[in-house]
Homo-oligomer: A and B are copies of this chain.
Amino acid sequence: MRIGDVARRSGVSVRALRYYEEQGLLKPTRSPGGQREYGEDAVDRVRFFQQLYAAGLPSRRIAELLPCVDTGTTTAEQRAMLDAERDRIRKQIDEYTAALARLDEIVVAAADRRA
């Protein structure tokens, strides 16, 4: 698959795919002419990246845990990082939930006024 196909199928831009490679997240082979050639798994991998990006993980962290995904094993360091990230995400969810409650308060207060 060429880069445009991966982009269309995964829903990210061509630029983003080149950026992911720059960050060490994708390692496509090259055609004799120098064009990137992606395997079938590339689309799923990109969707996986998007999920983690959406949870606030930076490229570095994603790159660090790719070996875990590929080998199915973790070093002590990787487990520590995974735990830290999971903790961070849980806290984030709490903060989002709290903020949501604050916005709800505003809505409810305004609704009461109108009632």
Report which A residues bind B (CB closer than 8 A). Answer: 48, 51-52, 54-57, 65, 68-69, 72-74, 78-79, 82-83, 85-86, 89-90, 92-93, 95-100, 102-104, 106-107, 109-110, 113-114
Contacts and interface: CB of A to CB of B under 8 A. Distances in A.
Contact of A86 (B48, B92, B95, B100): B100
Nearest to A105: B69
A55 B95 contact: yes
A99 B68 contact: no
A107 B102 CA distance: 34
Nearest to A101: B51
Given A72-B109, A102-B48, A106-B69, A93 B97 contact: yes
B106 A65 contact: yes
A51 B107 CA distance: 17
Contacts of A73: 110, 113-114
A113 to B, nearest CB: 5
A82 B99 CA distance: 12
Nearest to A95: B54
Given A57-B99, A86-B100, A89-B103, 12 more contacts: A51-B98, A51-B99, A54-B92, A56-B96, A65-B106, A72-B110, A79-B110, A82-B106, A86-B104, A89-B99, A89-B100, A90-B100
